[in-house]
Structure 1
Amino acid sequence: MLSIGFWELVARAILRNRITILVGIIAITVLLGLQWKNVKFTQTEANLIPADDKVNVDYNTFLQNFGEEGNLIVVATKDQKLFTPKVFTAWTALMEKVRNDKQISLVISINNLQELVKNDTLQSFQLKPFVNPQKANDALYLQNLKKKLFQNQPFYEGLLYNKNTGAVRSAIYLDKKIVNTKARKDYVLHTFIPYLDTFYKETGIRLHASGMPYIRTLNSKTIIDEIGLFIGAALLVTALIFFFFFRSFRATLISMVVVIIGVMWSFGIMGGMGYEITVLTALVPTLVIVIGIPNCIFFINKYHQEYYKHANKAKALQRVITKTGTATLMTNITTAVGFATFIITNNVLLREFGVVTTINILAIYILSLLLIPIFFSYIPAPIPRHLGHLERESLTSFFTWIVNTVKYNRFGVYVTSIVLLIFGIIGIYEIKISGSIIEDMPKKTAFFDDIRFFEKEFDGVMPLEIMIDTKRKNGAMKLSTLRRMEDLEQTISDIPELSKPLSIVNLAKSFKQAYYNGNAEYYELPTSQEEAFLLPYIKNSLKNGKDNQLKSYITSDGKIARMTCFIKDENGEKMEEIESRLRTKINKIFPEPKYEVIITGKPSVFQKGTKYLLDNLLSSLLFAFALTGGLVALMFRSFKMVMVSIIPNLLPLLMTAGLMGFLGIPLKPSTLLVFGIAFGMSVDDTLRFLAQYRMELSRNGWRIRKAVFATFEDAGISMFYTSIVLFFGFSVFMLSSFGGTVALGGLVAITLSFGMLSNLVLLPSLVLTLNKKLANKQEFIEPTIDILEHTDEELDALEENKDQK
């Protein structure tokens, strides 16, 4: 138990050692500032699934055999002027510059396209340039070249051109070694994008660019740019609200100093722990501001209340700590618990977010506890204007309405709560789980428009990979295996959400076409008779050439084949249904244990990761409920109080979930975080109210009704102020260009608003109803943990005893 005596010692230690404490805070800030150099933005993609999960094991098996699949950048245009001498020359120059960069491993473009031709002497297929560069200035030649591409190169349909719309693109493969490094970002931002800008200046044609390396780079750049926006906006909004409440520049200034130091510490803590800035940890500095300001409000409001009573500044400062020490500590712990629940998930991304936020919440509490009393000890006492907020008419009217509602219309409160509960439950059944990788990306950016362009013209840029292990050498090259794969490709073609697949089947067909002198009518699998004389050509081709296309779709021993198709991101939520359909076909044509077939790729991993996250966060939310209930049980040793603490905080979560269902907001990583964050913050008000209520019981002769309404006069104002700050603080995230961050900020703000009303209306109603039989102090068992705000009489008695000694 943290007794009065303990907080008395803390208060004296703080006020008697002000200089030492300030020097210590400065030293810690400097030390953490030295860690800023270690803060880096992550260069890898967020993976929500544990490393040992089968989904990740399958994906890593694919990467081991075929390398990084997310290294493709695509550039395209639909402009018909591409096949004119000036533009085609500029296009060729652009692609040659790209191809010559050391960060690029391969470029497949019309200007450097190679077509297969047979060499009977060597019994091999050879690659011959598709374009004659000496004729590239001939307009008629270029028009014939376009016809030849569209009519006689079926292998490249869907890969390099769209026959129906005339769209043409190039495929640029980054060196796989730099895909997850800073070199990728530097290349895309400082080399590749300037190339595109130069092309635009020369031709007037703005090219479309996309692909996972390109998307990831511009997406992460936007995240980094928004960190400063969030911090600045949060400081501005909270400062304005704070000043509006307290009408004091001095109070506003110290609050800003506290949270700014907290932000500096947050970066230092991340750097010191070696954590990279991810899409989640990027929110931590702003969360420090949003969570830190309510701490400042509570301490400063309590200081003003104490000074208003007896006009003794020293006594008021000491009473701020001694009367509220444990209560404020416990409310900050419950906030930290809301974030700490992420630590128990088996996911590095969430675990790091949980660790960093938990540490920073406790750090900002300590800063508030130390700096606010010290600051006010050096400045003059509050003047009447600073205390005017305690009797503001608009605030008084609001609380009068709440008190009257609780007094005279509790039945209406319960009916409304039940209706809202039903609303939430019905809405929950309407919620969908998002499988979209790009849904949370900034929709008002050029690179998002480019994503939609490629989805329309080339059925997306998100690869779905199928890996077929025949478990025998050269098994993937046998005609029987190729026919099975062709059968599977037909199933893929029948699924409208998927693009035309690319595999060794397409290559085998192009080999046959090449064998028959490039006649497109022979673009088909060889017959059994043709296999015998085609096989030597194929095997010799696999041996020759450093970067031939065959090696991208089959392992060097011929055991494992790869099949790639693309899926539009908007169809990510259908991934489970698509995989089920594919698996049904795969089980028929590739029976186990003769074959092993893996379906993987980034869209598949992301969709499964979202489901995994949902399962884990539901578990962690239940853990948060249990932990909060346990804390309340320790504090009050009353099952009734456990129920009273949980119900008002569960209802807002259900209402928000219902709202998401009715508004069509899907469950995705960003929106799933809402519930854990909002619960951890909302339960603070519950504990604050119950702590004050317990004290008012003893003050008012254990008369329940009088104690409940007396609680409004003290705790109600702080609960209202902090809820308003939290609402506008989280609303800052709605300035983001990321849909997920907007959803997170808006939904948390709405949930906390529901939570405030629930804690001010439903909570006291439940207290009055469930505890109406309480007749005397003995029926209210002494708590295990004393979080009560101690009375003036208790503190005066303690001080008298010490003076006598």
Structure 2
Amino acid sequence: MKQFWHNLARTILNHRILSLVLLAILTIFMSIEASKVQLSYELAKILPKTDERFKLYESFKQRYGEDGAVMVIAAETDHMYDLNTFQHWYDLGEIIKNTGGIKDVISNANLPVLKKDEAAKKFVTDKILDKRPQTQAEVDAVREKIKNLPVYQDFIYNDAGNVHLMMVTFNQKTINDHSRIDIVKRIKKMALDFGNANQVKMHFSGMPFIRTEFTSQVTHELGLFLLLAIGVTSLILAIFFRSLKVVIFALIVVLIGIVSSLGIIVLFGFKITLLSGLIPPLIVVISIPNTIFLLNKYHEEYSLHGNKIQALSTSIEKVGQTLFLANLTTFVGFGVFAFTGSALLVEFGIVASINVMLIYLVSLVFIPIVFSYLPPPSAKNTAHLEAKRLTKVLTTINFWVNNHRGLIYAIIVLIVGTSVYGMTKIQAIGYIVDDLPRDNAIFTDLKFIEKNFKGVMPFEVNIDAYKPGRALTPQLLTKIKRMEKEFAKFPEFTKGLSLVTATKFIYQAYRGGNPKYFVLPGIDELNKLKEFNASLEGKQNSFNGFIDSTKRYTRVSFQMADVGTVRTNELIKILQPKIDSIFNYDAEAGIMHKIGDPEGYNAQITGNSVVYAWQNDYLQKNLVESTFQAIILICLIMALLFRSWKMVLISTLPSLIPLIITAGLMGFFGIALKPTTILIFSIAFGISSDGTIYFLTRYKDELLSKNRTIAQAVTETILNTGVSMFYTVVILFSGFFIFTASTFKGTQALGILISVTLLMAMICNLILLPAFLMTINKSDSRKKH
């Protein structure tokens, strides 16, 4: 193996021009590919395609369309029915409806109403207004009509009558397309213009709006993070190395990494998601340590003998192997996500892990070649190796390791014990908008609408009646009514919209519009309705999205508050058995029909908010598994490297303890366990292990190659490798800490927790790791190996 690295160093330095040409070709190719990169505007598909819940939701969307396709505009005013305000409200609805990409708009200015045509024996769907009202009397008449239509109460207006909704439904193509962003922005501007002109307070919500605002903010922040990462790392490099050349060529490596990450996304046929968009700034931070260790070794070697080429060759030989193992552990930390089965994590894992190794190769080739052409380092450039303050700190650490190991262990045990207690306080919960600050307009508007209308998050019940035409039977309508009564017991839900709602609406029209007849009629009355073509057919009917063309499938739609994944799962566990009992229990026979029995029904909970809860749970489970997989794989790497169970234990604990401390901090500070925070552990463990490898490989070299005692080897490793480790951690800490500039609390937590983890990992690698080495080899610590 030693000969391999020696030959590799010779090959790189003997074929410098060819190597640079090949790097240039790679960069140009990746740049061309990167120019083709596209953003993903679809909802993240986290559940695997084989998951039955995923299949149910996908079939539901194919049958009825996207359930999260409605943008909600809320007008808060006591003067909606003033002529001037109502005219402008009417105009707003008409303009939005004529906007490309919009399927429908419903408000109190264009509500569908049913009229009975006695002669033709049918119902006719009409609008509450034929045209823009011209008089106050017309507006007053509309207001009275709406009061007599119970179907729209708490759907279009609230109980107090001071909040009025406009429901904007996007067509299926637009909802997952880039054009959605422009349309949402235009609609928001038009609504705000209406509000300003009429002194009306406007609020916005609904999944299209929330998704668009999230995407816009995150896209803006990713660019900000990239610039901050480049700026911060450049500044720190300039301070450490005091050389503009180091900064420039380190940035070239970084830029190659950024371009390559985007190119890899395109080559694999992926699009940039909210998760994979984090890769470029991550690559900036992760790629810099390669440059630091190569240049530190180069400067160290050159200071010893003054031979530039020999110093560079030694850097490739000695540091190349160490960096390979360090990058391999980072590769594992990211790579485990590729085996989760979740498309979102698989894409992230593949791109990030490949790019980690690619940027390692670029650094190993590019940095030595470039510096082989540059003048040798001056005394000013190598001054960082003798930083007096840092040397003093490292000397103090060495003293403690040699003389106070018992106290070190006692402090570590106390910290770990406290952290384990903190871990017991961690809660696993996620909200659709929980990453937003409480004063963010998306959050405050959502809470406003939840207060007045309970919620806007889709919660659906999909019903399979097994036979065509069976979805319209009185028996099924009665069961749906019973189910809606069960849902009404829970304050999280709005009233259901279903065939029962449609039938009650029709029956009210059949009985002359009297609101007391907004009820589900008996079987005899239902049979009379059949004489009027009331089969809910035709594009003009507002309820045609609640039954399929064969009349075998139907749905019941509820909206719910953003109550969090824990409460959502509780509701599912409570309601699904009740639903099964309602739809499959035969009271006359006293039996429960099994799913698939044609005498029963298959009624299952699904919908956007439900799938979000399922996905959150799936991610948490898989990310925990991924963390353990990363730990096991990295332990195997350590076992192959050092061929000793003692060394595996020694190398694992300094990287594992920081994770325990981080988890404890999450518990104490109330940071919930969710996808953005669980992601921290496998990434941080992979990067933390880098420091362990840097230390142990140098220790091994000092012990064997230079024939030192264990105590001497530990001391030399602390004093020499400690400098590079310190510089690296400062870069990594600062690089990840930039994520605290985010407006999203999850991203802030990601930055803070990874930064803290890496800082604790450096402390463990510089203090605990050498203490372990001294203790386990206590009997040999004063004699040569």
TM bracket (short chain): over 0.9
SS of alignment partner, residue 74 of structure 1: strand
Which stretch shifts more, 343-352 or 191-200?
191-200
Instruction: Verify the 8 A CA contact 1:512 1:522 in the aligned structure 2.
Output: yes
Q: Distance in 2 between matches of 1:412 and 1:146?
A: 78
Range 622-631 or range 78-87, more displaced: 78-87
Which residue of structure 2 lines up, in the alignment, with residue 331 of structure 1? Answer: 326
SS at match of 2:79: helix
2:726 to 720, 737, 748: 720
Structure 1 partner of 2:255: 260
Q: Find the residue that maps to 2:519 and give its secondary structure.
A: coil
Q: Which of 561, 564, 576 is the matching residue for 1:583? A: 576
* Stretches of structure 2 lacking an aligned partner (at least 5 in a row): 585-593
Per-residue deviation, 1:187: 2.8
Verify the 8 A CA contact 2:455 2:492 in the aligned structure 1.
no
Matched ranges for 1:11-90 at <5 A = 11-90=9-88
| 731-740 or 693-702, which deviates more | 693-702
* Secondary structure of the structure 1 residue equivalent to 2:174: coil
Which one-letter code corresponds to 1:53 in the other structure?
Answer: D
The alignment partner of 2:109 has SS state of helix
1:276-334 superposed Cα distances (whole Å, 9 cap, x missing partner): 00011101111111011111111111111112222332222222112222111111111
Q: CA RMSD in A?
A: 2.1
What SS class does the counterpart of residue 270 from structure 2 fall into?
coil
Paired residue for 1:732? Answer: 738
SS of the counterpart of 1:465? strand
Match of 1:567 in 2: 560
Match of 1:285 in 2: 280
How far apart are the structure 1 equivalents of 2:127 and 2:166?
16
Quick check: 2:506–2:534 contact (8 Å CA) kept in 1?
no
What is the count of residue pairs matched by the alignment? 772
How many angstroms does 1:261 deviate by?
2.1
What CA distance in whole angstroms lies between the structure 1 residues aligned with 2:131 and 2:357? 67
Rounded Cα–Cα distance in structure 1 between residues aligned with 2:664 and 2:161? 43
Counterparts of 1:452-531 in structure 2, within 5 Å, are 452-531=447-526
Identity %: 37
The match for 2:639 among 633, 639, 642 is: 633
1:162 is the counterpart of 2:155:
no
Task: Measure, in 1, the Cα distance between the counterparts of 2:239 and 2:203.
Answer: 48
2:42–2:176 Cα contact (<8 Å) kept: yes
Corresponding residue to 1:596 among 602, 608, 617: 602
Does the CA contact (< 8 Å) of 1:110 and 1:131 recur in 2? no
Deviation at 1:775, TM superposition (A): 7.6
SS in 1 for 2:380: helix
- Check the 8 A contact 1:47/1:606 in 2, yes or no: no
Letter aligned with residue 30 of structure 1: I
CA distance in 1, matches of 2:465, 2:771: 68
- In the other structure, the counterpart of 1:798 is none
Q: Is contact 1:434–1:607 with CA below 8 Å preserved after alignment?
A: no
1:172 aligned residue (158, 168, 191):
168
* Shift of residue 124, structure 1, vs aligned partner: 2.1
Q: Work out whether residues 77 and 201 of structure 2, in 8 Å CA contact, stay in contact via their aligned partners in 1.
A: no
Runs of at least 5 residues in structure 1 that lack an aligned partner in the other structure: 781-805
Say which of 288, 297, 300 aligns to 1:302.
297
Q: Which residue among 206, 212, 227 is the counterpart of 2:222?
A: 227
CA contact (8 A) 1:32 1:272 kept: no
* In structure 1, C-alpha distance between the alignment counterparts of 2:426 and 2:607, rounded to whole Å: 25
Determine the structure 2 residue equivalent to 1:429: 424
Question: Alpha carbons of 1:411 and 1:146: their partners in 2 closer, same or farther (altered >3 Å)?
Answer: farther
Deviation at 1:452, TM superposition (A): 2.7
The 5 Å alignment of 1:635-714 reads 635-698=641-704, 701=707, 703-714=709-720
Which SS does the other structure have where 2:217 is aligned? helix
Task: Kindly indicate whether the alpha-carbon contact (under 8 Å) linking 1:48 and 1:347 is maintained by their aligned counterparts in 2.
Answer: yes
Q: SS of 1:215's equivalent?
A: helix
Amino acid at match of 2:190: Y
Deviation of 1:433 after TM superposition, in Å, equals: 2.0
Aligned to 2:587: none
Aligned-partner SS, 1:173: strand
Q: Could you say which residue in structure 2 is the equivalent of 1:787? A: none
Q: 2:190 aligns with which of 195, 198, 204?
A: 195
Counterpart position of 2:105: 107
TM-score relative to the length of structure 1: 0.92
CA contact (8 A) 2:71 2:208 kept: yes
Tell me the amino acid that sits aligned with residue 48 of structure 1.
I
Quote how far apart the aligned CAs of 1:198 are. Answer: 4.1
Cα-to-partner distance string for 1:726-770 (whole Å, 9 max, x where unaligned): 011001111122222222111111111111111111111212222
User: 1:278 & 1:693 partners in 2: Cα distance?
Assistant: 42
Larger displacement relative to structure 2 (699-708 or 166-175): 699-708
Residues 299 and 320, structure 1, Cα contact 8 Å, conserved in 2: yes
SS at the partner of 1:82? coil
- Say which SS state the counterpart of residue 599 (structure 1) adopts: strand
Find the residue that maps to 1:564 and give its secondary structure: strand
Q: Letter of the aligned partner of 1:60 in structure 2?
A: E
How far off its partner does 1:141 sit?
4.5
Decide which moves more: 281-290 or 160-169: 160-169
Q: Secondary structure at the match of 1:728?
A: helix
The separation in 2 between residues aligned to 1:257 and 1:515, in whole angstroms, is 75
CA contact (8 A) 2:729 2:762 kept: yes
**1:338 Cα deviation from its structure 2 partner:** 0.7
Q: Is the 8 A contact 1:125 1:541 kept in 2?
A: no
1:333 is paired with a residue of what secondary structure? helix
Q: Distance in 2 between matches of 1:774 and 1:391?
A: 31
**Does the C-alpha gap of structure 1 residues 93 and 352 become closer, same or farther in structure 2, counting only changes over 3 Å?**
same
Instruction: Give the TM-score, by structure 2 length.
Output: 0.94
Change over 3 Å in CA distance of 1:165–1:761 after alignment to 2: farther
**1:145 and 2:149 aligned:** no
Cα distance in 2 for partners of 1:186, 1:132 equals 30
Q: Give the match's secondary structure for 2:341.
A: coil
**Contact in 2 for aligned 1:108/1:172 (Cα 8 Å):** yes
In 2, the alpha carbon distance for the partners of 1:481 and 1:258 equals 66
2:604 partner SS: strand
SS of equivalent residue, structure 1 residue 386 = coil
Deviations 1:155-177 (A, max 9, x none): 01222111235211111211113
SS of equivalent to 1:565? strand
**Structure 2: how far apart are the matches of 1:777 and 1:409?**
20
SS at match of 2:113: strand
Residue 495 of structure 1 deviates from its aligned partner by 0.9
> Who is 1:389 aligned against?
384
How is 1:744-755 mapped onto 2 (pairs within 5 angstroms)? Answer: 744-755=750-761
Per-residue CA shift, 1:355-403, capped at 9, x if unaligned?
Answer: 1111111121112112221222222222222222222222123213322
Aligned to 2:395: 400
AA paired with 1:572? T
Alpha-carbon offset, residue 443 of structure 1: 5.9
Question: Would you say the 8 A contact 2:576–2:604 is kept in 1?
Answer: no
Change (3 A) 1:431 1:711: same
- The answer (yes or no) to whether the contact 2:680–2:754 under 8 Å persists in 1 is yes
* Match in the other structure for 2:441: 446
Greater shift, 283-292 or 732-741, is seen at 732-741
Letter of the 2:168 counterpart: I
Q: Secondary structure at the match of 2:493?
A: coil
CA contact (8 A) 2:459 2:559 kept: yes
CA distance in 2, matches of 1:695, 1:13: 23
**Partner amino acid, structure 1, of 2:264:** I
Cα displacement (A) at 1:471:
2.1
Distance 2:218 2:430 in 1: 21
Aligned equivalent of 2:5: 7
Check the 8 A contact 1:435/1:603 in 2, yes or no: no
TM superposition shift of 1:499: 2.0
2:374 and 2:438 map into 1 onto residues whose CA distance is: 49
Partner of 1:792: none
State the distance in 2 between where 1:501 and 1:658 align: 43
AA aligned to 2:80 is L
Change (3 A) 1:129 1:615: closer
1:534 aligns with 2:529: yes
Query: CA offsets per residue over residues 77-119 of structure 1, 9 Å max, x none?
Result: 1122322222211211111112223422222121111222222
